[in-house]
Amino acid sequence: MWSKLTKAIANFDIPADWIGIRAVKETASSRFVRDGIPQANGKSTTEGVMLEVLVDGCLGYAATNSLELASLEAAAQIAYKQALFSSKWWIYPFRESQRPKVVGEYNSPFLEPLDALSPGEINNLLVRMCRTLKVDDKIVQTTASISTNERETWFVSSNGSEVYQKFISLGIHYGAIAQDGAIVQQRTNNGWQAHSYQGGWELLRQENLWQKVQQVGEQAIELLTATECPNTRTNLVLAPDQMMLQIHESVGHPLEIDRILGDERNYAGGSFVTTEDFGQLVYGSPLMNITFDPTVLGEYASYAFDDTGAVATREHLIKDGVLQRGLGSAESQARSGVPGVACARASSWNRPAIDRMANLNLEPGNASFEEIISSIEHGVYMESNRSWSIDDRRYKFQFGCEYAKLIENGKLTKTLRNPNYRATTPEFWHSLIKIGDADSWQMYGTPYCGKGEPNQAIWVGHGSPVCVFANVEVFGGGG
C-alpha cells in the first residue's frame, strides 16, 4: 500500500499547495439472533481512497475505490479543480501549516484475533444468550447480536507524512422484552449497543457473563410489577451507562466547533455554546472535569492520529466546571480562534473528515458507590438509556432509562419502572453535587453517532463514574 500511495503523490502533475491521501480497508461482520433463531449473518469488505488537495487557501476532496495510479490521478485532478474553483469564495483561507508532517503508527490492543471463532460458534453463543434471557414465559422476545470490525488506514502527504493505524473492535448487545397484559418492559445490557470496545474475543471472556445475561432477563420480569417512577424533584443518581448518553448529548455535540460555527444547522442543529464562551463559561459545578482522551487502552474511539494526521493527545474540554476547549479540527480551530483537539474523523474512505467527538470521559472523584447512596435521604437511581430527546441547540433535554431504584434513607429500596428526567444542560451540570471514585468508573462505546451531510455514522467512547445531581425533575411514563 505504501508504495502505491507514495508513488502516486510523487507522480501527480498538480500545482497544489498540499496533497494528502487517506486509504482505508475495512472488514465488518454482524450476526443477529432473535428468540434463539438466527436472523442475519453478514460480512462485508470495503476499500478505497480519499484525496484532499489544498489550493489557494481552499480544500478540495475526491474519492475512488481504485488504487490504480490512473484512478488516483483522476481523483486528485477532481479535488484540485474543486479547490481551485471554490477558492474564489472561501470563508477562511487554510494553509499548509494546518497539515504538518507526521509519521507514526497505532494498533488496537487485542489478545484473541477476530477469526478465532467460527460463524457457527458465534451463532451458538448468541442462541445460548437468547435461551438464558428467557427466564419466564412472560419474556416475549429475546435478542442477541455481535459485530466485529477490522480497519486499516494509511495516510501520506506531499510534505512527507506517513501514518498507519489498525483498529480491531467488537460489540455485543443482548436484551429481553417482557409483557404482562398492557404492561411491556425492556431490559438490555446497559442500553442499545453500549458494549463496543477495541479488542478481540477476549472481551467476551468474563467470569460472570452468563450471570449478567440471566440478570437482564430477570430484571425485565421484575419491571412488570415495579412501581411507576414518581413525579417529583429529587436527587438523581445516574449509573455510568446512562452518563454515557448524558455526556454524549449535552457535552459532546454542543462542543463541536463546526456546529458552533453553523455548519450543522440545516441538518442536526447548532449549539447554545458560542466561540466567546471558551475560557469563560462555567459549564457545570467544580466537580465537572471532562477530557477528550483517545489514549485510553481499549476504549472504542482510541487512536494516535486523526484522519488528517493530527497527533491525538489527552486534553481537558472542561476543567473544574469551566469550558476550556472545543471539539474542533485544525481547520475549525483556525476559523474560530478556539483551541480544539485532534478530532477530524471520517466514517469511511468515501467521506471527508469532519469535527467528531471520540473518547469523551468524565473524570472520577473520590466517593464510593456505597458512600454516595448512604448520603442520600431521598432520591432515584437510574440505569441504562432507553430514550432521548434534546433540542437543536443541545440545551433542553429529556431522557428515559430502563431501570431505576428508589433511594430512601440511604438505601436502595423499591424498583421503579419507566423512569425519566428532564432539565436544561447548564442547570443540570451545575447541579452535579457528588461524583464516584475510580472503582465506579466504567467505559462504554457505540458505533452509531450520526452527523454530517451526507451522514457519517461513527464510533465514540464514553467513560464515567456514578454521579449525583441535586433537585432534578424526574417523572414516570413511557419515556
For Cα atoms 86, 266, 94, give the angle at the middle one, nearest 5 degrees: 30
Given a contact cutoff of 8 angstroms between Cβ atoms, the answer to whether 169 and 108 are in contact is yes
Determine how β-strand 344-345 pairs with β-strand 396-408. unpaired
Question: What tens digit of pLDDT does each residue of 156-187 get?
Answer: 999 999 999 999 999 999 999 999 999 999 99
State which residues of the chain have pLDDT below 70. Answer: 478-479
Query: 3-state SS of 171-188?
Result: EEEEEEEEEECCEEEEEE
Q: What is the pLDDT, as a whole number, of residue 295?
A: 96
Nearest to 203, CA basis, from 172, 165, 244: 172
Instruction: State the number of CA atoms in the 13 A half-sphere of 121 facing the CB.
Output: 7
Given a contact cutoff of 8 angstroms between Cβ atoms, the answer to whether 72 and 8 are in contact is yes
Q: What is the pLDDT, as a whole number, of residue 479?
A: 43
308, β-bridge pairs: none
Question: What tens digit of pLDDT does each residue of 429-456 get?
Answer: 999 999 999 999 999 999 999 999 989 9
